[in-house]
Amino acid sequence: MKQAADPAKERYALMEKIQMVDFALVELTLYLDTHPQDTQAIQQFNQLAVESRDLKSAYEQRFGPLRQYGASFSGYPWNWGDSPWPWQL
């Protein structure tokens, strides 16, 4: 971690990485829905799923949970409701 880093900037940068990887996953999901036999695409999907999981766990350690109902861990106190929400970022 660089010193004097701006946490808002870091949040944006990490979020953007997640958005990129997750976008590829959405796109691959829809593609595989109509091309279920494409081995290469499935391989890419599974690789990106790991990458997405790792990025989210790094994000959540710094900025709080992304997902609810147990898909993310909570900090103490319960920090799901903390701002900013996506439309406030």
Partner 1 sequence: MWYYEKKLQYPVKVTECNPRLAKYLIEQYGGADGELSAALRYLNQRYSIPDKVIGLLTDIGTEEFAHLEMIATMIYKLTKDATPEQMKAAGLGAHYANHDNALFYHNAAGSPWTATYIQAKGDPIADLYEDIAAEEKARATYQWIINMSDDPCLNDSLKFLREREVVHSQRFREAVEILKFEKDRKQFF
The residue within the footprint of partner 1, chosen from 5, 6, 16, 57 (CB under 8 A), is: 16
> What does DSSP assign to residue 68?
-
Q: Does 74 sit near partner 1 (CB under 8 A)?
A: no
Q: Does 7 sit near partner 1 (CB under 8 A)?
A: no
Q: Minimal CA–CA distance to 27: which of 15, 14, 45?
A: 45
Degrees to nearest 5, angle at CA 13 with 7 and 16: 140
State the number of binding residues for partner 1 (CB under 8 A): 24
Smaller CB separation from partner 1, 48 or 65: 65
The residue within the footprint of partner 1, chosen from 2, 69, 77, 78 (CB under 8 A), is: 69
How far, in Å, CA of 34 to CA of 29, rounded? 9
- Binding mask 27-66 toward partner 1 (x if CB under 8 A, else -) reads x-xxx-xxx-----------------------------xx
Q: Exposed, middle or buried, 67 (CB in 10 Å: 0-12/13-18/19+)?
A: exposed
